[in-house]
Amino acid sequence: MFLSVKRLTKAFGELEVLKDVDLDIDKGNIVTIIGPSGSGKTTLLRCLNALEMPNDGVFAFHDGIEVDFSKQPSKKEVTALQRRSGMVFQSYNLFPHKTALENVTEGPLIVQKRPKKEVLELAENLLNKVGLGDKMDLYPHQLSGGQQQRVGIARALAIQPELMLFDEPTSALDPELVGEVLKVIKDLANEGWTMVIVTHELKFAEQVSDQIIFIDEGRIIEQGPPEIVLKSPKQERTQQFLQRILNPS
């Protein structure tokens, strides 16, 4: 087990977005989260990275570290939690005034204070890995959406996280650019990365996932391997959702 999440709860004012969510993530597994818009998928992902602070819940990691959100965690605990994961956003979130290479080196150099020579070598290797070795000196506005998202993936990998988080990484892309981003994620899956992915790409989810979670109105309705959740779901709500997605007429 890499991470066990218990009783995760998150509210924005009176609106309770996540309600007592329990989630286990095994090391080297890919967990995919699906569900309708507004169901709490992105909030769940952002809570895993403490970009949103849960109102309650306990995160227990494989190395014995626990973060209990029923008490106010210290800034040090939150920072340590954030450093475990790399986040890939649906809208890229690149620095527009920095080149692809500078975007990738920012975290390791500025936040982690790692040696410049080591970071530059790592960043170049990562940009080559995502197929952008010839685009290192270009700025975001000179890149396609798919290329920008691949820079975003390289940037998240550059902090050398234990966990990769993807928030609908293809939703802002033109259809013909989706494949190039999904290929990079598939390659990471084949390398054994631990990942949590929020996506509407059900075929992709079926191909890469060890576990699929269907969430609705802030609760996990169904979870299990893709052949169960996507092919023969037990819950009526899951069946309704998949029917609507797969047969939208």
Which domains are seen in the chain, by residue range? 3-246 (3.40.50.300)
Q: Over the stretch 106-143, which tens digit does the pLDDT of each residue have? A: 999 998 899 999 999 999 999 999 999 999 999 999 99
pLDDT interval class at 7 (50, 70, 90)? very high
Residue 170 has pLDDT above 80, yes or no: yes
* Three-class secondary structure assignment of 148-184: HHHHHHHHHHHCCCCEEEEECCCCCCCHHHHHHHHHH
Digit-coded pLDDT (tens) for 143-163 = 999 999 999 999 999 999 999
Average pLDDT over residues 44-63: 96
Q: For 184-233, write each residue's pLDDT tens digit.
A: 999 999 999 999 999 999 999 999 999 999 999 999 999 999 999 999 99
DSSP string, 107-164: IIIIIS---HHHHHHHHHHHHHHTT-TT-TT--GGGS-HHHHHHHHHHHHHHT--SEE
pLDDT band with cut points at 50, 70 and 90 for residue 178: very high
